[in-house]
Amino acid sequence: MNLVSGKMLWTDISKIPNKHTYLSEDISCDVLVVGAGITGAICSYFFTKAGVDTVTVDKNIVGYGSTSASTSILQYEIDMDLVGLKGIIGKDKAVECFKLCKEAVYEVEKIVDDLGNKCGFSLRDCFYYADSESDLSLLKKEYKIRKDSGFDVEFIEEGRARDMFSFPIKAGIYSRKSGGEINPYMFTHELISRSQKDGLKVFENTEVTELKNESDGVEITTKNGFKIKAKKVVFATGFLAKELIDNKTAILTRTFTLVTKPVDRFDGWHNRCIIRDTKNPYTYLRTTSDDRIIIGGEDLALGGKNSKMSCLTEGASVAKKKYQILYNRLLTLFPGIKDIEIEYRFNGIFGESSDGLPYIGEYQKYPNSYFCLGYGSNGILYGVIGAKLIRDIYFGKSSKLLELFKVNR
């Protein structure tokens, strides 16, 4: 599958800061992290910070997979509304999941402070809105359960919305300081660099082709025949891990993204908050630390592994059509921003679980292995939650949350 396609913002504005060698000998370690995208980098950070002898490998260049196409919107809200999630797992557990994501936003803030590089991170308010009367009833129910559960939210009526935004809104839920934005590629490299100072060994262009369970751990073999023996393995390979798991873990789509050149002002955009509508698929917007606008959405079902959508290349007519739709929508949403000019167009494979929650923890088919799969729009936050839970499992601590996130649920 072609994970990403187009000209990516993050890898263009942030040139490769560090190059890593490929594995060229047999080695051993306590924990092997497979995947050096943002999730793998977060896992490596937490393990090395805890003093664990850790190795990270990736079949590509660090951060050049799905991370390079991430819009990196950090929200306590997940892909499924709190009302919907309550219907699946109950109110208390659903609220806990939302609160975990909010805590993870602030955990990211702590991490960038520890790294000494903000990586384009900013805390942001979030706005979840409807432009159709038919969505108002559900939106009011969603607001009530969030408000009753202690979230700092305000219900924005149509009249008030006119003073805040330049596009038609029937109503919306405005959440204060419960989201954030970041440069995922820079964040990944800073995490890796910091972890190396704590003893991490990193090998890129090192593809794992075989895994063998042993009594005292796991032995993996790379494409070039070199072996790594580890007590535990963490799979942080995103949607590629789908091949390892029997049950249907992710619903895959391809999502499309536009990024503007820096703009002078954000007229009609209250507090530069993160914006998401109630449509399915939804449109999402954020800004960047250098004053760009990112808009994405228009998701299309992926189909089979060898389908046209799975292997979509830049320049395909369907991609051009989706980019044009997003561009027209952006102009309609913000007519007061006069200097909108698109600089980057890219798309990538996006996946979510049926309940919007990640897959974290052990899986019976692979002893001595952990999975940290942050499927859904909250991939980075799920990576933080998952890395901490897996680190705790490694040290013999369990959590009731693992039942919510288990791979075979």
* CA gap 186, 193 in Å, rounded: 10
Task: Please report which helix (H) or strand (E) contains residue 186, including its range.
Answer: helix 184-197
For residue 359, give the CATH number of its domain.
Answer: 3.50.50.60
* CA gap 265, 229 in Å, rounded: 54
For residue 269, give the CATH number of its domain.
Answer: 3.30.9.10
Answer yes or no: do 231 and 368 share one domain: yes
Please report, for residues 37, 204, 351, the alpha-carbon distance to residue 402 in angstroms, rounded to integers and kept in the order given: 23, 30, 20
The percentage of residues in the chain with a pLDDT greater than 90, rounded to a whole number, is 87
- Identify the pLDDT of residue 247: 62
- Residue 275 lies inside a defined structural domain of this protein: yes
Residue 198 contacts residue 304 (beta carbons within 8 Å) = no
157-186 average pLDDT score: 97
Answer yes or no: do 371 and 237 share one domain: yes
Confidence of residue 246 (pLDDT cuts 50, 70, 90): low
Least confident of 31-45, 52-66, 227-241, 281-295: 227-241
Least confident of 26-40, 306-320, 332-346: 306-320
186-192 average pLDDT score: 98
Please report, for residues 24, 299, 355, 389, the alpha-carbon distance to residue 385 in angstroms, rounded to integers and kept in the order given: 33, 26, 17, 6
- Residue 172 lies inside a defined structural domain of this protein: no
Answer yes or no: do 324 and 256 share one domain: yes
- Identify the pLDDT of residue 336: 97
Token code pair at residue 5: 């396609």
| pLDDT of 28 higher than 70 | yes
Answer yes or no: do 347 and 272 share one domain: yes
* CA gap 145, 212 in Å, rounded: 47
Token code pair at residue 90: 């109950």
Answer yes or no: do 278 and 315 share one domain: yes
- Residue 65 lies inside a defined structural domain of this protein: yes
* CA gap 10, 68 in Å, rounded: 6
* CA gap 148, 155 in Å, rounded: 13
* CA gap 316, 377 in Å, rounded: 25
Q: Which amino acid is at 149?
A: S
Please report, for residues 146, 147, 167, the alpha-carbon distance to residue 159 in angstroms, rounded to integers and kept in the order given: 22, 21, 12
Angle at 47 between CA 241 and CA 62, to 5 degrees: 55
Answer yes or no: do 365 and 239 share one domain: yes
Q: Identify the residue whose tokens are 């954000």.
A: 266
* CA gap 50, 232 in Å, rounded: 15
- Residue 96 lies inside a defined structural domain of this protein: no
203-227 average pLDDT score: 95
Answer yes or no: do 65 and 8 share one domain: yes
- Residue 121 lies inside a defined structural domain of this protein: no
- Residue 126 lies inside a defined structural domain of this protein: no
Which of 29, 47, 386, 377 is closest to 192 using CA atoms?
Answer: 47
- Identify the pLDDT of residue 275: 98
Token code pair at residue 305: 């592994």
- The total number of structural domains in the chain stands at 2
Q: How far apart are the first and last CA of the chain?
A: 26
- Residue 88 lies inside a defined structural domain of this protein: no
- Identify the pLDDT of residue 369: 95
- Per-residue pLDDT of 42-74, as tens digits, reads 999 999 999 999 999 999 999 999 999 999 999
Domain residue limits at 48: 4-70+185-246+355-405
Residue 68 contacts residue 4 (beta carbons within 8 Å) = yes
* CA gap 382, 39 in Å, rounded: 8
Answer yes or no: do 17 and 59 share one domain: yes
Please report, for residues 100, 106, 202, the alpha-carbon distance to residue 388 in angstroms, rounded to integers and kept in the order given: 12, 14, 20
Phi and psi at residue 154, in whole multiples of 5°? -135, 135
